[in-house]
Amino acid sequence: MFADADKTAMSSNNLILSKSRLKRGLQCDKSLFFTLYRKDLEPKIDPATQLNFDEGNEVGERARTLYATGLLIDKKPWEREESAQDTNQAIQDGANTIFEASFLAGGLFARIDILTRASKLVGWQVIEVKKSAKLKEDHIEDLALQAIVLAEAGIKVDSFHIMHLNSKCIYPNLSNLFVIKNVTKEVADSLSELRDKIEKLQKVAEIGTEPKVAIGPHCDEPYTCAFHDHCWKEFPQPSVFDLPGVGPVGGWKIIKGSGKTRIQDLDENEFKGKTKIAIEVAKTGKRWVEPRGFQLAIKQWQWPLYFLDFETLAPAIPRYSGCSPYTEIPFQFSCHVWKSPSAKIEHFEYLHLDQTDPRPAVATALAKGFGSTGSVVAYNMSVERGILEDLAAFNSQHTVELMSIASRLVDPLPAFRNHVYDAKFFGSFSIKDVAPALIGEHLNYNQLTISDGMIARAIAEQLMRSLGSNDERARLRQALLEYCRQDTIAMVELTKWMLDISKAA
Ligand code: SF4
């Protein structure tokens, strides 16, 4: 029965169902089984996930400061029994506010961010702290799971609340950083259905046999499952999910309707637009391109050409003047400059890694590096436009130069989206897919230490906090420069490709 299962999971402590384990089980029985019995399949925590955890902890700690007194149950995540014992003792000793209050009952475990009450004569208020800037449906489920454990433990609760970040809070005034919403009714409404599901999940945990669950839309809803790579390893690559304009819902509709998973097996005549073209490309192996579209796009651009890309931070707790939770702050840019068709390509860049506000230095470096004429090429330029306009509004010293850069932005993305398709795009028009497909594998981001913007953000936060040895910091600083540079090199190469293909128009 436990042929491929980790038998160590059979100790009773390892079968305790905490909120995070239950959440996985609510998405899929098999995900709970893997969580309990196949720890070898658990993906490694990448820097972006770690930043998410760290920010969650930081928000939790900040929320506690709203309470004049409160006792923290300070135990490691796996010390469940000890945490529950300390909580029980704190309640008996008359504590009226407990942070990380923990309860273990009926094989279930709950850790409550803030458990508080006015006096021993009334019931408790349960407060779940969230780092999001709005209330989400999923938060109610989290509290309902806690409510079931508290009921099992015999704790009388009067009300349930979500405390989340307030998008209207503006640094430096953090007095309104949180919004608290009473969701007692919503929690009560979801309890009975959830109780049944938990009973079923407890059986899955106890039986210890891998449940037979086929892959399906549930693998990405409400979250991408942690075991996605494992369960999907036999699925064809590329598949109907790699068609442009289809998406996960459309992909499952195609599979349900036709029973086909491979693009080559589809009948292109049953599809329209880019999806139809992508099926033809997959079948013939020949790239589809409309040179005239590129010729018209590039005709609008003026020499010299600047190729610009930003990387941004988005701190959950604002720390720079005028910022709210998750305001995007540029901390790095790369710019390649091509002054004329015969000129050598030049480059300048800026990377801010100390704890001060990066915006003044970024604005100065931009104002210094850019001339007053020429197009500014930015792939998916709405991002760069927003950053430049915000910087201009923030920095009166360089408003004119920054607005001039913003007004000269041109975007190659629509031309690539509308006038070319290659099988290696895999349904995406992101520069990370388009550049290696059209130019070559040397532009594949997977070979870089940092392969996406979320990881770049996490590494920058790490460096700003001075974490790691000097050698490690130097290595990561170099990796950040390489990552941002890759985006603007890719834009230069794609522009050369556009100029070449335009000649065929
Ligand atoms: S990938 Fe899908 S089938 Fe596999 S465990 Fe996750 S949700 Fe279940």
pLDDT digits (tens, 9 = 90+) for 352-410: 999 999 999 999 999 999 999 999 999 999 999 999 999 999 988 999 999 999 999 99
Residue 105 has pLDDT above 70, yes or no: yes
Pocket test for ligand 1, best of 21, 27, 35, 241 (most atoms within 8 A of CB): 27
Ligand 1 centroid to Cα of residue 29, in Å, is 8
Which CATH number covers residue 181? Answer: 3.90.320.10
Tell me, letter by letter, the H, E, C secondary structure of 352-411.
CCCCCCCHHHHHHHHHHHCCCCCCEECCCCHHHHHHHHHHHHHCHHHHHHHHHHHHCEEC
Question: Rounded distance, CA 432 to CA 450, Å?
Answer: 12
**Cβ distance 113 to 128 under 8 Å?**
yes
Q: What is the pLDDT of residues 143-165, one digit of tens each?
A: 999 999 999 999 999 999 999 99
pLDDT value of residue 120: 83
pLDDT value of residue 395: 87
Question: Rounded distance, CA 80 to CA 14, Å?
Answer: 10
Residue 90 has pLDDT above 60, yes or no: yes
Residue 297 has pLDDT above 90, yes or no: yes
Ligand 1 centroid to Cα of residue 225, in Å, is 6
pLDDT value of residue 10: 42
Ligand 1 centroid to Cα of residue 502, in Å, is 46
- Tell me the pLDDT band of 498, cut-offs 50, 70 and 90: very high
Bridge partner list, 313:
329
Ligand 1 centroid to Cα of residue 22, in Å, is 14
pLDDT value of residue 102: 98
Are residues 280 and 293 both part of a single domain?
Answer: no
Are residues 335 and 186 both part of a single domain?
Answer: no
**Cβ distance 313 to 457 under 8 Å?**
yes
Which CATH number covers residue 374? Answer: 3.30.420
Ligand 1 centroid to Cα of residue 28, in Å, is 6
Pure H helices in 76-178: 80-92, 137-152
Question: Rounded distance, CA 380 to CA 367, Å?
Answer: 22
Residue 49 lies in a domain: yes
Q: How many domains does the chain have?
A: 3
Residue 216 lies in a domain: no
Question: Rounded distance, CA 179 to CA 318, Å?
Answer: 15
Pocket test for ligand 1, best of 23, 33, 35, 225 (most atoms within 8 A of CB): 225
Q: In this structure, which residue's CA is closest to atom 4 in ligand 1?
A: 231
pLDDT value of residue 502: 96
The tally of CA atoms less than 13 A away on the side-chain side of residue 62 is: 21
Ligand 1 centroid to Cα of residue 78, in Å, is 25
pLDDT value of residue 466: 83
Residue 301 lies in a domain: yes
Q: Which two tokens stand for residue 428?
A: 């995406």
Ligand 1 centroid to Cα of residue 53, in Å, is 23
Q: In this structure, which residue's CA is closest to atom 1 in ligand 1?
A: 228
Question: Rounded distance, CA 294 to CA 287, Å?
Answer: 15
Q: In this structure, which residue's CA is closest to atom 7 in ligand 1?
A: 219
Residue 62 has pLDDT above 80, yes or no: yes
Quote the Cα angle for 486-488-494, to 5°. 100
The SS3 of residue 337 is strand
Pure H helices in 211-353: 228-231, 247-258, 273-284, 291-299
Give me the count of residues in the chain.
505
pLDDT value of residue 9: 42
- Tell me the pLDDT band of 121, cut-offs 50, 70 and 90: confident
Are residues 170 and 250 both part of a single domain?
Answer: no
Instruction: Indicate the residue type of 330.
Output: P
Residue 170 lies in a domain: yes
Closest atom, ligand 1, to C-alpha of 214: 3
Residue 52 has pLDDT above 50, yes or no: yes
Q: Which two tokens stand for residue 403?
A: 């607005």
* Average pLDDT rounded to a whole number, residues 404-419: 98
Question: Rounded distance, CA 402 to CA 387, Å?
Answer: 10
Q: What are phi and psi of 257, to 5 degrees?
A: -75, -40
- Tell me the pLDDT band of 13, cut-offs 50, 70 and 90: low
**Cβ distance 101 to 73 under 8 Å?**
yes
Are residues 435 and 501 both part of a single domain?
Answer: yes
Closest atom, ligand 1, to C-alpha of 216: 2
Are residues 188 and 61 both part of a single domain?
Answer: yes
pLDDT value of residue 5: 43
Are residues 153 and 46 both part of a single domain?
Answer: yes
Are residues 331 and 261 both part of a single domain?
Answer: no
Residue 301 has pLDDT above 90, yes or no: yes
pLDDT value of residue 468: 82
Ligand 1, CB cutoff 6 Å, lining residues: 27-28, 30-31, 34, 213, 215, 218-219, 225, 227-228, 231
- Higher pLDDT among residues 177 and 120, named by residue: 177
Q: In this structure, which residue's CA is closest to atom 2 in ligand 1?
A: 219
Are residues 272 and 420 both part of a single domain?
Answer: no
Residue 4 lies in a domain: no
Q: In this structure, which residue's CA is closest to atom 3 in ligand 1?
A: 215
In percent, the amount of the chain with pLDDT more than 90 equals 92
Residue 8 has pLDDT above 60, yes or no: no
Pocket test for ligand 1, best of 31, 33, 39 (most atoms within 8 A of CB): 31
Ligand 1 centroid to Cα of residue 48, in Å, is 22
Residue 8 lies in a domain: no
**Cβ distance 434 to 497 under 8 Å?**
no
pLDDT value of residue 124: 97
Are residues 240 and 369 both part of a single domain?
Answer: no
Residue 222 lies in a domain: no
Residue 1 lies in a domain: no
Question: Rounded distance, CA 45 to CA 20, Å?
Answer: 15
Are residues 26 and 175 both part of a single domain?
Answer: yes
Tally of CB atoms within 10 A around 298? 19
Are residues 345 and 412 both part of a single domain?
Answer: yes
Question: Rounded distance, CA 53 to CA 67, Å?
Answer: 23
How far is Cα of residue 13 from the mean position of the Cα atoms in its chain? 31
- Tell me the pLDDT band of 119, cut-offs 50, 70 and 90: confident
Q: What is the pLDDT of residues 441-457, one digit of tens each?
A: 999 999 999 999 999 99
Q: What are phi and psi of 380, to 5 degrees?
A: 65, 65
Ligand 1 centroid to Cα of residue 91, in Å, is 40
pLDDT value of residue 1: 34
- Tell me the pLDDT band of 416, cut-offs 50, 70 and 90: very high
pLDDT value of residue 359: 97
Domain encompassing residue 485: 287-505
Q: Look up tokens 């008359």; give the residue.
A: 94
What is the sign of the dihedral through the CA atoms of 330, 333, 338 and 339?
positive
Task: Give the orientation angle of helix 470-502 with respect to helix 431-438, to 10 degrees.
Answer: 60
- Tell me the pLDDT band of 232, cut-offs 50, 70 and 90: very high
The per-residue pLDDT of the chain, averaged, comes to 94
Are residues 433 and 355 both part of a single domain?
Answer: yes
